[in-house]
Amino acid sequence: MEQTLTRRQFDFLSTLATAGEALTQRKIEEITGMSLGTVNKLTKEMTSLGYVSGGCITEEGKKALEPYRAKRAIFIAAGFGTRLVPITLNTPKPLVRVKGKRIIDGLIDACLGVGIDEIYVVRGYLAEQFDQLLYKYPMIKFLENPSFNESNNISSALCARYLMCNAYVFEADLLIKNPSIIKKYNYTSSYLGIPMERSNDWCFTVSADNVIKEMKVGGLNCYQEVGISYWDEACGKKLSGHLLEAYEMPGGKELYWDEVPLKIFSGEYRVEVRECRTEDITEIDTFRELKAIDKTYDI
């Protein structure tokens, strides 16, 4: 299906679609930040198209949103997790428990919460341990990465390269605290980022219209990269070829997978930053950080 909605039409319809109840125009104004006049105009417009009735989205409206629905989730989970030693000597990092819950469970639950139940986990290190997820999440499908110990995570993305359309891609070791950052509907390809005055980590600089201009390590007045991205159908199709092309380049095995669309072939992608907060999600990089969050490890 082709994307035919304007950005405002999308924001209006997706707000109604995820509300679960009829919304007044003032409530839509409050949620979207649009002016009441704009909301009134969109209400008339969407009603005339048969997409809205009585403050609720119709079945036709849901069909109009279908090209923007997140259809699958891919978890990059093959790595060793060196900086979390000694815990990762016997347990893959995504399966490490924080306050009794596996790290990856929060991410999977967030996906299921918005209706994404086509879930793939790319595994490598201690791969058989991921089978335990099937007791709670029988819908998971595993993708095996035999090259995880001789390349960077581009090899994991390569295993899933035909699944990138209308898909979330997750680093599987992120501790999510606000599941609402995972959206059922996404207007365009995007990367989650935390606004920072200064970052020493991977970060983005963006244009006035919120499109990623540069991906780099360290920066001022930038967005610190969070390892959660969404890829629409057009970008997903391009990724399938570009991932292989980059992997086969000299030094390609050393790339992080997201350098492919954001650095190597950046001119062919339009990827926005979707802002989130440090309170929403945490990457546990080191054993010291794990102990600070979960005191049971501090022995």
230-258 residue pLDDT tens: 999 999 999 999 999 999 999 999 999 99
Under 8 Å between Cβ of 299 and 291: no
Predicted pLDDT at 60: 95
Asked if residue 280 is part of any domain, the answer here is yes
pLDDT tens for residues 155-191?
999 999 999 999 999 999 899 999 999 999 999 999 9
Q: How far apart are CA 14 and CA 18, in angstroms?
A: 6
Under 8 Å between Cβ of 51 and 58: yes
Q: Are residues 156 and 87 in the same domain?
A: yes
Counting the structural domains of the chain, the total is: 2
Below-70 pLDDT ranges, the chain = 1-3, 299
Q: What is the mean pLDDT of the chain?
A: 92
pTM: predicted TM-score of the whole model, two decimal places: 0.93
Asked if residue 1 is part of any domain, the answer here is no
Asked if residue 13 is part of any domain, the answer here is yes
Residue 188 backbone dihedrals phi, psi, to 5 degrees: -155, 170
Predicted pLDDT at 262: 96
Q: How far is CA 36 from the centre of its chain?
A: 31
Q: How far is CA 177 from the centre of its chain?
A: 14
Query: What domain range includes position 76?
Result: 70-297
- Three-state DSSP class for 171? strand
Q: How far apart are CA 199 and CA 150, in angstroms?
A: 29
Domain's final residue, options 67, 84, 111? 67
Q: Could you tell me the end-to-end alpha-carbon distance of the chain, in angstroms, rounded to an integer?
A: 55
